[in-house]
Amino acid sequence: MMDKKVRELLNDQINKELYSAYLYLDFSNYFDERGLDGFANWYMIQAQEERDHAMLFYQYLKNNNEKVELKAIDKPDKVLDDDMKVLKFGLGHEEYVTSLIDNIYAAAFEVKDFRTMQFLDWFIKEQGEEETNANDMITKMELFGSDPKSLYMLNSELAGRVYSAPSLVL
């Protein structure tokens, strides 16, 4: 039987991942309304990834015969009125999610829940990639975002991103 605190944190993480999907869907909508379909595509794929992450936590709990408790998903509350602010919100959010994953790992470590720690290893690596990607987008926007031709090229680059489901085996 899984430790109560670890189970609660894993259940909370389902909600946090679904909120992340909702937040990135909001970002996608913002960029779509601005005519930046590449940025909109990038964040739409982010939303898909976050939904998949939630489902991985869901399935992990189910595979361990633990109860899944779904909670209400908060409405994103960020004021989206500037492209760079949106990108920085994204980085800040990824750093927050990293802290959540780290907290679950620490709780699992405390009770020697090695199975959960192993499960979380993939998410720890994934969060490193997510933070790097968010930082890269900010760097590119700082370099090119003020020039319309360069922004067009960056938008075109982001339009080429395609979705690939995570390959984590539970």
- Give every CB contact of residue 145 below 8 A, 6+ residues apart in sequence: 83, 84, 151, 154
55-74 per-residue burial string, b: 16 or more CB within 10 A, e: under 16: ebbbebbeebeeeeeeeebe
164 belongs to a structural domain:
no
26 belongs to a structural domain:
yes
Q: How many domains does the chain have?
A: 1
d(Cα 137, Cα 94) in Å, to the nearest integer?
13
CB contact at 8 A, 11 and 64: no
**Boundaries of domain holding 141:** 4-159
> What CATH number does the domain containing 90 carry?
1.20.1260.10
CB contact at 8 A, 137 and 155: no
83 belongs to a structural domain:
yes
- Please give the structure tokens belonging to residue 95: 């750093």
| Residue given tokens 């940025």 in the structure block | 39
42 belongs to a structural domain:
yes
The structure's pTM equals: 0.93
Residue 97 has pLDDT above 90, yes or no: yes
CA angle 78, 83, 85 (to 5 degrees): 45
pLDDT band, very low/low/confident/very high, at 25 (cuts 50, 70, 90): very high
Residues constituting the chain: 170
Residue 163 has pLDDT above 90, yes or no: no
pLDDT digits (tens, 9 = 90+) for 33-84: 999 999 999 999 999 999 999 999 999 999 999 999 999 999 999 999 999 9
